[in-house]
Amino acid sequence: LRLLDFPSQLVEPLTPSGTAPNQAQLRILKETELKRVKVLGSGAFGTVYKGIWVPEGETVKIPVAIKILNETTGPKANVEFMDEALIMASMDHPHLVRLLGVCLSPTIQLVTQLMPHGCLLDYVHEHKDNIGSQLLLNWCVQIAK
């Protein structure tokens, strides 16, 4: 997006692509491969758990975050949740949380990398007095890439 010079104009895309996300990148996981360990947070649409993913046929235990849509949400929320999954699956950047897979039963679950310090916004709020300008500048550069 590019900011325009006049306040009356908002933003416009630099290159509107209209390209559909690459669904081939979306890995479907079985519920038996996932184990929820503890709640990390919750909101109006769902709950995020710290969990373990043991891919079928393997012995490795991968720490993950499991985002589960509340069962009380309607079909529109399910569609939006899957849209989020498709977009996340098509993203590959060193400074973005990677979607590892999706479990479709009994409720939709997005499985992502587990971030050791949790949500960046929460981390900034909790450590605001100890975060220096150089670190903030580094984060800005990473976000802008």
User: Which residues carry a binding-site annotation?
Assistant: 67
Q: How far apart are CA 81 and CA 89, in angstroms?
A: 12
> C-alpha angle with apex 39: 33 to 102, nearest 5 degrees?
35
- Residue written as tokens 């709640």? 39
Q: List the binding residues for ATP.
A: 67
**Using H for helix, E for strand and C for coil, what is the string for 40-54?**
EEECCCEEEEEEEEC
Name every residue whose Cβ is closer than 8 Å to that of residue 7 and which is 6 or more positions away in sequence. none
Whether residue 89 contacts residue 22, with contact meaning beta carbons closer than 8 Å, is answered with yes
Whether residue 5 contacts residue 64, with contact meaning beta carbons closer than 8 Å, is answered with no
